[in-house]
Structure 1
Amino acid sequence: MSIKKIISFGFLVFLPISVMAEYLHWGAIAIFATCCLAIIPLASWLSTATEEIAVVLGPTLGGLMNATFGNITELIIGLVALNAGLVEVVKASITGSILGNLLLVLGLAMFLGGLRFKEQEFQPMLARTNASVMNLAVISLLIPTAVNFTSARIPESEMQQLSIAISLVLILVYGATLLFSMKTHSYLYDVGVTEIEGEGGNPEKVNLWLWIAVLLVCTVLVAIESEFLVSSLEEATASLGLTALFTGVIVLPIVGNAAEHTTAVTVALKNKMDLSVSVSVGSSMQIALFVAPALVLGGYFMGQPMDLNFNPFELVAVAVSVLIVNSISSDGRSNWLEGLLLLATYVILGIAFYVHPIT
């Protein structure tokens, strides 16, 4: 049985345990911990359901399906936290999801894949395209932060308007990336599509309605678990001696990205580095171009304003991550040492976020 299946089935035991912890008042730490563990298999099932439905829908609609639901767990957790007024935690989780996918997921994939295969290859043109998109992500976070830093006192309403405008541009760019990958330059992604279909199954054997039901049920359950998690988050993290910044950047993204972690590493061990890079970097791109703008717009309509003015240290961390990933992936080759460099960067940043004081 694969690691992903073990996680998908084994960790489901924490679903009823987390409900018991909530309604029997076991305490904030117990609720927070069991909810985190319960969300991990739900995220995995959401990922599996999306992949199976995508196989039936075909390359174009399937690609759109993956693009829409690929990070639905992070989006749901973010919206629930935003509704609770935990804006800084939501911002930190956006930063953490980008860091986690670029450094932890891709790093593990390159390191473990490199131990099994001396050198692995992926398309350098895709790496360059991904690098350009991630540079845009850094710019989209840099501009509002720079405007705020260089202004005597910019009103929150104007920062909100600036963030909404940037978010709309990012969503348009995200739409353009989908057009690029699924239509005008789809041939560049043929390897990834073939491998995804191989990992999925035969369209004729996929029970479409079953997987649609799984998708809907898991979405509802993730929303419920997110409510429990968010309600216990502040008290639990305070009891554990963790800051909201560290929790948002390190803990929540690991929970939400569990499915991407296992998929990227598994395919790397099969010497399918094209797909591994596509999963990890593609997820970061989706966070930056779709999830973050969606949360900004969602916060506006929910009456919980959120902007793109991030903590300067978060911005530095994202910029450093994009820089080292672009440097390592530019030649279209990877090995275990390059994976280790990404993991080391993630550990260093994790330690820094742990000791970073609350501002």
Structure 2
Amino acid sequence: MLNKEKLFLVLLVFIPVSIAANFWEWGETTVFITAALGIVPLAAYMGTATEEIAVVTGPNIGGLLNATFGNATELILAFIALKAGLVGVVKATITGSIVSNLLLVMGFSMLLGGLRFKEQQFQPTVARLNASTMNLAVIALLLPTAVEYTSSGIEEMTLQNLSVAVAVILIMVYILTLLFSMKTHSYLCDVGDIESGEGGEDKHKVNLSFWVFILLLVTLAVAIESELLVGSLEVATSDLGLSALFTGVILLPIIGNAAEHATAVTVAMKDKMDLSVSVAVGSSMQIALFVAPVLVIAGWIIGQPMDLNFHPFELVAVTVAVLIANSISSDGESNWLEGSLLLATYAVLALAFFFHPVTEGII
């Protein structure tokens, strides 16, 4: 734990470095790499601040705060990319966030947890419910694309209106999942209030004003670093020999989710697989049911239209991730081999995105 904290402190150095690199024009690639490294600790401190505030506000409001700020880094990054007109990158990031949480995060958690404890258990009822919710998310992403591909000459505005309507439904479903997990069936979804996996015994005093200030400060810093990252993305990825598709699906989600990834793996290695699965699958659900719909509606409001018409290859990746994750998690048990299968699937998808000949229709 201490090593992780030290690493995040070291990575904070890249925030002023990225700002200096942009100001003194050290090159787009330098700005991109330093801004990406600077976002990693900011995401971690955003999560820490949210958890500390949740200790004071109680489990219900705390749960809502965790749900709202759980993917705030990705939402800010995606919104700035959307404002810049990089709609394809935004869609790729949504795809990548869902895929990386279900395959990379859960894979590492099951692998490392399984190597230490052989067999680990988690709540199968919740796992099956999450599987059904993720199936709905796949359907919601699939149908607008199916409408576009099965209609001749459909107008862009029609597709946009359909996407906004679907987005509203997904947000309503997201609110229902919060009501279910925090109110009516909280006994099923109780996996511990503190993401460190230490349980509910930690009743330390919390300086609420300080952590609210930290949360606001970190949110501002994430916005600044995201601006630098997005502004240098196209030139930097070209210089590094990476496609915008690979960057959006693989690199950006890892950057935004790094702290969450570390938390899920850490608690899995403490035999808290319930909490680890909750972090991984919950984050994917939040991206699909909240972040993506909010971006669709935000794009509609700011005049930068974004629809839910994803490229078929991105949909294949999401569908594959959801299918294998649902299959492995449905029995409520995990071991190191199942973690290896998830990681192998992620590696195959990452290679496919790396070698994909990007066309105008995908990015």
Shared fold by TM > 0.5? yes
Deviation at 1:2, TM superposition (A): 3.2
Deviation at 1:301, TM superposition (A): 1.1
Match of 2:208 in 1: 208
Match of 1:2 in 2: 2
The one-character-per-residue Cα deviations of 1:281-325 (angstroms, maximum 9, x if unpaired) are 000000000000000011111110000000100000000000000
The one-character-per-residue Cα deviations of 1:43-88 (angstroms, maximum 9, x if unpaired) are 0100111111111111100000001111000000011000000000
Q: Within 2, Cα distance between the matches of 1:120 and 1:195?
A: 18
Q: Within 2, Cα distance between the matches of 1:193 and 1:37?
A: 29
The one-character-per-residue Cα deviations of 1:132-181 (angstroms, maximum 9, x if unpaired) are 01001100110001001111121110000000000000000000000000
The one-character-per-residue Cα deviations of 1:77-117 (angstroms, maximum 9, x if unpaired) are 01100000000000000000000100000100000001101
Match of 2:118 in 1: 118
Deviation at 1:7, TM superposition (A): 3.2
* AA partner of residue 157 (structure 1): M
* AA partner of residue 263 (structure 1): T
The 1:197–1:326 alpha-carbon spacing in structure 2 relative to 1, beyond 3 Å, is closer
Is the contact made by 2:194 and 2:200 (CA closer than 8 Å) also made in structure 1? Answer: no
Q: Within 2, Cα distance between the matches of 1:47 and 1:341?
A: 29
Worse-matched range after superposition: 1-10 or 336-345: 1-10
Match of 1:33 in 2: 33
Aligned residue-pair number: 359
Unaligned ranges ≥5, structure 2: none
Q: Within 1, Cα distance between the matches of 2:11 and 2:150?
A: 48
Q: Within 1, Cα distance between the matches of 2:338 and 2:179?
A: 31
Is the contact made by 2:197 and 2:272 (CA closer than 8 Å) also made in structure 1? Answer: no
Is the contact made by 2:115 and 2:336 (CA closer than 8 Å) also made in structure 1? Answer: yes
The 1:298–1:39 alpha-carbon spacing in structure 2 relative to 1, beyond 3 Å, is same
Worse-matched range after superposition: 149-158 or 159-168: 149-158
The 1:230–1:351 alpha-carbon spacing in structure 2 relative to 1, beyond 3 Å, is same
Q: Within 2, Cα distance between the matches of 1:155 and 1:339?
A: 44
Match of 2:239 in 1: 239
* AA partner of residue 293 (structure 1): P
* AA partner of residue 333 (structure 2): R
* AA partner of residue 282 (structure 2): G
Deviation at 1:239, TM superposition (A): 1.1
* AA partner of residue 177 (structure 1): T
Deviation at 1:192, TM superposition (A): 3.1
Match of 1:259 in 2: 259
Q: Within 2, Cα distance between the matches of 1:328 and 1:211?
A: 38
Q: Within 2, Cα distance between the matches of 1:181 and 1:237?
A: 40
Normalised to the residue count of structure 1, the TM-score between the two structures is 0.98
The one-character-per-residue Cα deviations of 1:2-39 (angstroms, maximum 9, x if unpaired) are 34313321210111111111101010110000000000
Deviation at 1:190, TM superposition (A): 2.3
Match of 2:19 in 1: 19
Deviation at 1:202, TM superposition (A): 4.0
Is the contact made by 2:102 and 2:284 (CA closer than 8 Å) also made in structure 1? Answer: yes
Match of 1:56 in 2: 56
The answer to whether 1:217 aligns with 2:217 is yes
Give the match's secondary structure for 2:198. helix
Worse-matched range after superposition: 270-279 or 239-248: 239-248
Q: Within 2, Cα distance between the matches of 1:221 and 1:130?
A: 33
Q: Within 1, Cα distance between the matches of 2:50 and 2:339?
A: 28
Q: How large is the RMSD of aligned CA atoms in angstroms?
A: 1.3
The one-character-per-residue Cα deviations of 1:193-227 (angstroms, maximum 9, x if unpaired) are 37668368745511111111110000000000111
**Equivalent runs, 1:1-359 vs 2, <5 Å:** 1-193=1-193, 198=198, 202-359=202-359
The 1:200–1:261 alpha-carbon spacing in structure 2 relative to 1, beyond 3 Å, is farther
* AA partner of residue 125 (structure 1): T
* AA partner of residue 190 (structure 1): D
Unaligned ranges ≥5, structure 1: none
The structure where helix makes up a greater share of residues is 1
Deviation at 1:243, TM superposition (A): 1.1
Q: Within 2, Cα distance between the matches of 1:10 and 1:282?
A: 29
The 1:283–1:195 alpha-carbon spacing in structure 2 relative to 1, beyond 3 Å, is closer
Is the contact made by 1:4 and 1:259 (CA closer than 8 Å) also made in structure 2? Answer: no
Q: Within 1, Cα distance between the matches of 2:316 and 2:197?
A: 37
Q: Within 1, Cα distance between the matches of 2:353 and 2:283?
A: 22
Give the match's secondary structure for 1:206. coil
Q: Within 2, Cα distance between the matches of 1:271 and 1:337?
A: 16
Deviation at 1:185, TM superposition (A): 0.2
